Structure 1
């Protein structure tokens, strides 16, 4: 395991959680006890896709546009989830504790009930959250390049407070009951059972008798009561879809998600099952990741190759293979599997970031140019990916395009919320780029929004009038 004093960015961020987990997973948080642990945003395209599948019918049932809502995966052991305008966040601790998709969906439905009821907005905390910088910075596979990067670590540490603010929002018992009832309604509208919602809270009924300091943080902010649980159970048992069970496909995806997280977060636990004669796909997957995390790349690669024999069209396996090769210094070998992952899932921008990262690390000028194109294509799909902008800045610098390198650095700092550095690099870029070019205009926009002083503002305004 990574030392608690070092961001997990260095390991978790590298693997095939290559598209936030679309094919990659990033774990910049440090493992810690539930009390006061550091939390962090994880990116893995595969896991995010599963979470989207779980949450989408609930957002639709609540009258919300599922496509406009970001799903965040947060590294933390708490049994926590929260919904805020434009955002649904789920902690890894909750996923690992949930036994079925329906249990996880039950908690999601409850949190959507808070959101639809305006409870978070009325708490007064949302206005100070300032979530955007943290939501937009991490890309799973590419975080490998940030391992040990002090600047990246500072960004994570600085933004973790936003999650802490949202995660610490407290609700009244009345609001909790209302969110329960709303969640039950959304589950029923979506054709899902409310059993998981009732059973999740019932499983932790004992938390009610603990002193507040000894409760799970989630149950400190979401107070339980036996009356509330019984009222919820009575409601869902009467609903038409109460007897509906999870499909085999949904359960399989849930097990894959849990196995992947276990391999990254708890490799010493995942490795225990690697000697079993009979293994399921999730177990094999977790073992491959665990060997990777434990710095045994050859064992990890051998297991991934065996899995690819079974699933040759799985983009997440190809991405994981490419990321391991890249991380362990076999950059040229990483190119082919990363290309394959992009070929199989061209709509996943983080996979393109991983491929671009590999290509710009090669010495061939044509490869570097191609890497720039891949990074730009990823930004066409997800322009707020700060890591992609940082990598693009590196590539431009390698090519001798100093103005573009400074412009991309300005974009990077703008995305992570460092207005001072964004202003500095935007102004430098303006001095080096062709006046009126798209990049020059964008650099000007960044400067305008980065708290320039009066003299700089006047100069920018003058240029705007030209």
Structure 2
């Protein structure tokens, strides 16, 4: 907010120019409105802000292993909330900040929230809380509350500007000060109303989370532990919009209330199964290894350096450091320890691709896809992607078939479209290559680029054919 002297100068200058008075008051009102809007959005949950952004603006990460784990966490909770058939999508955001939020029909989970939670139950608690917001329709109601808060602030701002203008015209400094105070007070009222609303919705989501955990036979201890850890780390006092606590205000009395309610459950003392705990640690090791290297993995598992997760992270770190022979030896040891783990074979395929051994890589990905119980389209597409890297035109038709098979179950796999375009290009089908590029941009949320490549594709495709019509659909779809 500008100080009262700044407001006085603006209004006095406008008064000396007759009809310019209304224009200046309008400018002041617009400035007040924009500042209140900015303040309100800053106070809103991060999910509301993300809803206004193109999906392409977020650093989305696709990983079959981590997606399967989080889906297993969320599935029973969504069922308990009555949302199992609502088409809820869980999206992983590659950020080390602890954050999770809802936007539309999506639940966004930062990879930092996975690495920061030491047990499955802790992340499950956070998911249950976010599902509580989703089931309660809090996002839509928050938008309505924002509108009401902005109206209060704008009305107060206009009234204050009017008093200030009248006071300035009459030479009354006290009236100008009163007008400025009223404008500032209007913003304060709006903020208090909004914060009060948020506290109520957070408490409601807490209770809903405990209800879902109870219904699925899980403990609420993990949710309490996570909030206490964040509180001890003083994260709740930060004003940055990049962490969980900036959008989830957490006074100590709320933590205490949550603790009391969680302890009333007969499942409070229930712990995670060893198998689930291992999967959680494997996911944490994978994220840290890819983002920060093998040294960070060693620090994370310093208390258990001989764990499978520590070895997994070390194998990934070795592969990323450019030592494929050593990485293969390490991943083969992992496979020997867990021969039914699909994602160890996936890592083996990644290493072999990097080493230029595409046929062996395709075999490893095929084994991974066969072992995978979720039917991940990512793993299926990777078989074809490995064949594309061979550069052999004779293998491109099979690569195209395999990639399209993966895309049929996972059309949002933008990496697969890139390889599909390469495969079409290597057999001289340039129009299909540009259509694949357009589809990749489209599913990645980059709609303008998608239209550009769809237009280019249409110019090379036979009019009326299915590929030509697919390009036409992209071109004609309205961008909002």
Q: Assess same fold via TM > 0.5.
A: yes
2:117 corresponding residue in structure 1 = 98
Cα distance change on mapping 1:39 and 1:390 into 2, 3 Å: closer
1:220 to 242, 246, 258: 246
Residue pair 2:411, 2:443 contacting (<8 A) in 1 also:
no
Match status 1:51 vs 2:70: yes
2:231 corresponding residue in structure 1 = 205
Cα distance change on mapping 1:379 and 1:392 into 2, 3 Å: same
Task: Give the CA deviation at 1:228.
Answer: 0.8
1:247 corresponding residue in structure 2 = 273
Structure 2 Cα separation of the partners of residues 265 and 108 of structure 1 = 23
Count of aligned positions: 373
Residue pair 1:379, 1:385 contacting (<8 A) in 2 also:
yes
1:334 to 347, 361, 365: 361
Rg larger for: 2
Larger RCO: Structure 1 or Structure 2 (Cα < 8 Å, ≥ 6 residues apart)? 1
Task: Give the CA deviation at 1:54.
Answer: 0.9
Give CA-to-partner distance per residue, 1:160-182, whole Å, 9 cap, x none: xxxxxxxxx98722221111111
Task: Give the CA deviation at 1:399.
Answer: 0.6
Structure 1 Cα separation of the partners of residues 332 and 63 of structure 2 = 21
Structure 1 Cα separation of the partners of residues 270 and 304 of structure 2 = 34
Residue pair 1:207, 1:224 contacting (<8 A) in 2 also:
no
Between stretches 107-116 and 262-271, larger displacement belongs to 262-271
Give CA-to-partner distance per residue, 1:201-229, whole Å, 9 cap, x none: 12333466975448983222211111111
Structure 2 Cα separation of the partners of residues 342 and 177 of structure 1 = 42
1:305 corresponding residue in structure 2 = 332
Residue pair 2:99, 2:242 contacting (<8 A) in 1 also:
no
1:265 corresponding residue in structure 2 = 291
Structure 1 Cα separation of the partners of residues 265 and 236 of structure 2 = 32
Give CA-to-partner distance per residue, 1:19-71, whole Å, 9 cap, x none: xxxxxxxxxxxxxxxxxxx9622211111111111111111111101682222
Give CA-to-partner distance per residue, 1:332-377, whole Å, 9 cap, x none: 4423322322333382211122221221222433311110111111
Residue pair 2:99, 2:109 contacting (<8 A) in 1 also:
yes
Task: Give the CA deviation at 1:426.
Answer: 2.6
2:322 corresponding residue in structure 1 = 295
Match status 1:318 vs 2:337: no
Q: Secondary structure at the match of 2:272?
A: coil
Task: Give the CA deviation at 1:323.
Answer: 0.8
> For structure 2, which runs of at least 5 residues remain unmatched after alignment?
1-56, 147-193
Give CA-to-partner distance per residue, 1:112-131, whole Å, 9 cap, x none: 11222222223339x9xxxx
Structure 1 Cα separation of the partners of residues 298 and 261 of structure 2 = 42
Q: Secondary structure at the match of 2:412?
A: coil
Structure 2 Cα separation of the partners of residues 178 and 276 of structure 1 = 38
Structure 2 Cα separation of the partners of residues 117 and 384 of structure 1 = 28
2:60 corresponding residue in structure 1 = 41
Cα distance change on mapping 1:95 and 1:191 into 2, 3 Å: same
Task: Give the CA deviation at 1:423.
Answer: 3.0
> For structure 1, which runs of at least 5 residues remain unmatched after alignment?
1-37, 128-168, 452-466
Residue pair 1:423, 1:450 contacting (<8 A) in 2 also:
no
Cα distance change on mapping 1:381 and 1:432 into 2, 3 Å: same
1:179 to 185, 197, 205: 205
1:256 corresponding residue in structure 2 = 282
Match status 1:351 vs 2:370: no
2:415 to 352, 373, 387: 387
Residue pair 1:207, 1:219 contacting (<8 A) in 2 also:
no
Q: Which protein has the bigger helix share?
A: 2
Structure 1 Cα separation of the partners of residues 112 and 206 of structure 2 = 21
2:105 corresponding residue in structure 1 = 86
Structure 2 Cα separation of the partners of residues 256 and 427 of structure 1 = 44
2:398 to 359, 370, 374: 370
Q: Map 1:452-463 to 2 at 5 A.
A: none
Between stretches 402-411 and 182-191, larger displacement belongs to 402-411
Cα distance change on mapping 1:260 and 1:408 into 2, 3 Å: closer
Cα distance change on mapping 1:336 and 1:227 into 2, 3 Å: same
1:191 to 217, 220, 223: 217
Structure 1 Cα separation of the partners of residues 291 and 473 of structure 2 = 40
Q: Secondary structure at the match of 2:344?
A: helix
Please give the root-mean-square deviation of Cα atoms over the aligned residues, in Å.
3.0
Match status 1:65 vs 2:84: yes
Task: Give the CA deviation at 1:243.
Answer: 2.4
Q: TM-score, normalised by structure 1?
A: 0.72
Cα distance change on mapping 1:181 and 1:388 into 2, 3 Å: same
Q: TM-score, normalised by structure 2?
A: 0.70
Structure 1 Cα separation of the partners of residues 252 and 302 of structure 2 = 43
1:112 corresponding residue in structure 2 = 131
Task: Give the CA deviation at 1:199.
Answer: 2.1
Q: Secondary structure at the match of 1:63?
A: coil
Cα distance change on mapping 1:398 and 1:111 into 2, 3 Å: same
